[in-house]
Amino acid sequence: MSTSRFPTDTLPPTGNLINGTWVDSADRFVVDDKFTGEAIATLSSATREQVSEAVRVARNAVDAGPLPPHDRAVVLRRAADLLEAWRPRFVDAMTTEAGFTLVDANNEIDRAKVTLTLCANEATQLTGDVVPFAASPGAHKRIGFTQRFPVGVVCAITPFNSPLNTVLHKVGPAFAAGNSVVLKPSAFTPLTSALLGQVLLEAGMPAPFLSILQGEGETVGSWLLEEEDVAFYTFTGSTRVGRIIQRAAGLRRTQMELGSIASTFVAADADLDRAIPKIANAGLRKAGQVCTSVQRLYVDSRIADEVAQRLVEYAGTLVAGDPRDPATRVGPLITEQAAIRAETWIGEAVAAGARVLCGGARRRSVIDPVVMTHVPEEGRVWCQEAFAPLIALRPFDDFDAALASANSTPFGLAAGIFTQDIDRALKAAATLRFGTVQINETSSARSDVMPFGGVKDSGFGKEGPHYAMREMTEERLVVFNP
């Protein structure tokens, strides 16, 4: 095990968290430094028996009842404070196991603190509605209202590309609503979740209300789908795996944030001084490994050359390499195999006539930021989710045709448009079949307070504490008939 890239004196727990105790197993897996490829830790993969025990403990916790809402809010606010106190440890974990740059790691922590605070606020404001019975003849004397109750055991299965904030977008609302949580983080980034488990326990979360099960989706994830006491699955990942989870869930409830090919439009009247930095950062941050990254960039042909030139110039300022270097803005992909895949897709597109305006060189798992044009319609960098630091620019003369092109994919997570024409903006909002349409922002802009989710093969249900908590609760109608 290398000690040169990770401070072993602050290594998070390497077992599985069940009922407040970190337990080991004989099944082990290795976590690598995503830049150097060195092994940094060996973790215990949860056994089938440990999965069942974690769900049993979580079910018993729900049956015994959660903390009162105010107390749950106190726990969540303490956790936000502890995130700040533990910032260096979280930065170390994410730069090492996720390959995040220092900027991306610190931004992840900043957002996670906001998410926890939002969850704390919502915990004390989770209410129902008054039913206007006077609308029904003869029922005007009735008094009715709805209440919300925890759905039960929430199973959260989370991705590598946001190992702290996306985890908290699932764990936070679930706990705030009174549920217990069984978390299975990505096997690529388990250490950040282990640190978070320590923080939540120290903040006062009752031990039975949080379990963390480490391991691969094919084993631990599949076993979790067999547990009938899980009432709700919340998942961020591929559409392929989302379909598997949905089939196993049956009539149980789910929230799915799945695959994407995000599109952003630049009209001829766009403010390019504002748009170019936003587009470049949205397409290239986290090495392009964001489900809403700007992959398809549609640009009015009258300004396409200028936009391409300015994007190339901006991309040239984004240093790619060691994520621990303060100058680095584009870190490694999650594996060298992922980088090789992206390199292969770029090569295929070039062979079919595409032009690489900048970037594309690969050093192990790092790829220099890429801006491409003339990408063929059938090219994988155009019609499949790239998940790499890559922006494919396509000029358009016909705005309606460009909108139709964006709608032509199976996915519909997020889109953006830069324009000063309100009619054009409203047409885009009404036409683009995406869960979010941003005006004068990229597809990748997100505030943690907003509802976030997709349509079509991008899934269904909403993240955002206010909205997620309503999905993770059961609504009950109470009627008084004097």
| 56 SS3 class | helix
| pLDDT at position 198 | 98
Q: Is residue 387 part of a domain?
A: yes
Pair (175, 215) in one structural domain: yes
Q: Is residue 439 part of a domain?
A: yes
The pLDDT tens digits for 37-80 are: 999 999 999 999 999 999 999 999 999 999 999 999 999 999 99
Q: Is residue 453 part of a domain?
A: no
The pLDDT tens digits for 444-458 are: 999 999 999 999 999
Pair (224, 91) in one structural domain: yes
**Residue closest to 81 by CA, chosen among 205, 199, 167, 207:** 199
Q: Is residue 452 part of a domain?
A: no
Structural domains of the chain, count:
2
For residues 372-390, give the mean pLDDT. Answer: 97
For residue 182, pLDDT over 50 is answered with yes
How many CA atoms lie less than 13 Å away from 212 in the CB half-sphere? 35
Considering only 8-12, 304-308, 478-482, which range has the smallest mean pLDDT?
8-12
For residue 3, pLDDT over 60 is answered with no
Pair (421, 327) in one structural domain: yes
228 is catalytic: no
Q: Yes or no: say if 350 and 375 are a contact pair by the CB < 8 Å rule.
A: no
Residue 10 pLDDT level (bands cut at 50, 70, 90): confident
Pair (312, 393) in one structural domain: yes
For residue 203, pLDDT over 70 is answered with yes
For residue 438, pLDDT over 70 is answered with yes
* The one catalytic residue among 291, 358, 385, 441: 291
Distance of alpha carbon 399 from alpha carbon 209, whole angstroms: 51
Structure tokens given for 154: 């929430």
Structure tokens given for 249: 């869930």
Residue 321 maps to which CATH number? 3.40.309.10
For residues 296-312, give the mean pLDDT. Answer: 98
Report the chain's mean pLDDT, rounded to a whole number. 96
The pLDDT tens digits for 70-115 are: 999 999 999 999 999 999 999 999 999 999 999 999 999 999 999 9
The residue that leads in pLDDT, 139 or 10, is 139
Structure tokens given for 112: 């996670």
Per the structure, the complete domain to which residue 351 belongs is given by 263-447
Pair (358, 424) in one structural domain: yes
DSSP symbol at 38: -
Pair (233, 276) in one structural domain: no
Pair (222, 358) in one structural domain: no
Residue 225 maps to which CATH number? 3.40.605.10
Q: Is residue 236 part of a domain?
A: yes
Pair (389, 284) in one structural domain: yes
291 is catalytic: yes
Distance of alpha carbon 73 from alpha carbon 67, whole angstroms: 10
For residues 402-421, give the mean pLDDT. Answer: 98
Structure tokens given for 433: 């079949």
CB-count exposure of residue 155 (10 Å: 0-12, 13-18, 19+): buried
| pLDDT at position 277 | 98
Judged by phi (left if over 0) then psi (alpha if -120 to 50, else beta), residue 176 lies in alpha
The DSSP string of 368-419 is: --EEEES--TT-HHHHS---SSEEEEEEES-HHHHHHHHHTSSEESEEEEE-
Structure tokens given for 243: 């379909």
E strand or H helix at 44: strand 39-44
| pLDDT at position 5 | 58
Pair (83, 122) in one structural domain: yes
For residues 109-138, give the mean pLDDT. Answer: 97
Q: Is residue 118 part of a domain?
A: yes
* The one catalytic residue among 97, 227, 257, 385: 257
Q: Is residue 297 part of a domain?
A: yes
Backbone φ and ψ for 481, nearest 5 degrees, come out as -120, 95
Pair (185, 311) in one structural domain: no
Partnered with residue 371 across adjacent β-strands are 358, 391
DSSP symbol at 26: S
Pair (362, 238) in one structural domain: no
Pair (242, 354) in one structural domain: no
For residue 2, pLDDT over 50 is answered with no
| pLDDT at position 295 | 97
